[in-house]
Chain A
């Protein structure tokens, strides 16, 4: 019990460094393709390889993307900027230095809000976002005592998002990363795939006695290939540091790797050298200025963020927080919702369709919304057909929706073509009802003598004769009246 009490007297201080690969067509300083999954060393322009005499040239798109992220995070955008060189030797680093921004990060400060669907939203404060180039990849050749280098990734544009050391739990770290991933995907500046390395996260973890304001020795945890691993690693690292401290041992500032199989972190068994990167301004790239016109243009072009959609969906369309959160998980869903509600006012029904039949269809068929020809107008049409009673929900789901996907035709056309429109005219339904009752005189007698359960049977017969198109509500009402 006292052990537990001791443990609870500590708090964690976590800072995250998130690298995001920007999905520009070409690399950040050279014209070769920024493409994942090619054979090794296919995209290796002389600039990417740092051949003697080559010089970098800034990809404007990468700059725009970085600024978009900064605006999305409420950061201050740097107006006068230059790049710096970070010098160190490693075979995956072709020039022996990485071009990065040390002195003038493109974005300063800012924050990302998490938990905004709850009563306790939090702002995760950012220290900075800067641009830099990615390195290549070392590959260990199977069965041989050699390593090979693939430079396809060398020069791929990155932004590094650095938070303040202010995150206090693995849950918040996970929520922050989830939000960042959504943001870059909504902005369309990165695919955010952690398993492919287009989103990478290092966690700086330290602990301190509650009430203490100084920071403890921090441990940098690397090799975190999913949000779940980030959370796990933080948890085990907090546990490890707490135990060490309780045992009276010191926490060494070091870099540790996370082993997801053993669910533990381990030291990198490398010479812990004091890294001196000898930063200095990159003399091969001209300093550049971001002016008001450029910022205005970017603001105008910028895609809507998940948070903005969330606010619209809950406030403008009255969706429950849960619905709004689910629909804003993916950009295509949010887009489709917004497109659909331009044609219908049945907002909640649209949300139900998206979270219900559409989501399950995508899951069952292993496809994505983008690959379907489903437009907002079509979905609105479908919702409206049910809402007006033209077709039943079941028919809309089981008969019309698959046909819309298959043919791309408008739902109301399909309803008519396939003869699925509900019969809601009592002048048409009454003769059918009379016929059914006449043919089942014995059952009518039984009903009248108290077997009210037979109503379903009459209903079934009417449906049979109308090929299922009889409006169930109206039919029910007419039957009850006729049998009275």
Chain B
């Protein structure tokens, strides 16, 4: 099978490789944060609308409506950014690469564009007709589910392209080889789960931010305000209290998805890295033992922090409702902190593993070397990951149990848990950025792994 990296007749745009790379990185990372929020958010909106129908729950309907509005605003900006990215960054600065990639994965891009069109139609239909469709709630739910499904397929098509760039099956360009390349399924599962977790984190952040803003406004207005004696003032006060109750509930709803679904990412991410190790070993080496190994440690730290902050939120939120016997949350918090500390131990005190070998200092630090056996991947980091998963699960379960038993009551929150929600959102966002940096840089010096080099966008082989 000859591969179709056939755009060699185009000349690369002369320019600064670093500048071009930075431009694509900034736009791509921003685009990813927006696109993944819409993909995950559509699932959560459909889920909430479904629950609101089954349980006649007004709060879930309000949430679904809010999600649709939020997605429209974000989508309008995100679409413009995506078009700018394709037209001005990829075509102008990385023409040879992008034209080659488009030729190889043409159908994926065609389906991607088709899904994009359907997505626009569905989202704006829902946005413009939400109240009109109130009489046909099942139809509205159907549209939301269809929107979520289309989003998932859109992610599917782009994931084929993204995973193919890392593990291109030795340049085999037939459709089956592209779709079933070694890292496609792990990436698809990773993003399916991760997008919902990310949407949950955004929702938690928004809820926490809005709640704190409402507190600040109340505090700022307090000295001047007269006691609420008029009917209008009392109604306004009730409205603020009701909105705070809603925001508190929304924060919990988002935080649960952010934490609970991130628990899966430990195994899924591990499996993804395993496939990279099996099929693109130099990329894996660069990521785990080479120049990116310390960046990877930062990512592990952020992953651990998601569970630590999540647990802190659950703990403080339960305490705000007066729940007694919080030893489970305290134990989970301690274990999660310890596991994070163990997971972020560097395996060597140098930039790369090769630097340690070159300096002939590959012995433990207590023998005067640069190695740190406490930070070994196996078994120490694996053990830390298992502890993160087990105690993260116990923490979330304990919280949900308290909620289902009515011990955590909506509205009884304080400032602390809301600050934790802000921290959770920021942590997940930064982790996605770090992850993107690692993924894109691990392929270097290739754009399409083993096939096309970054430098001058040269094609390296003519295929097997």
- The answer to whether A binds B is no
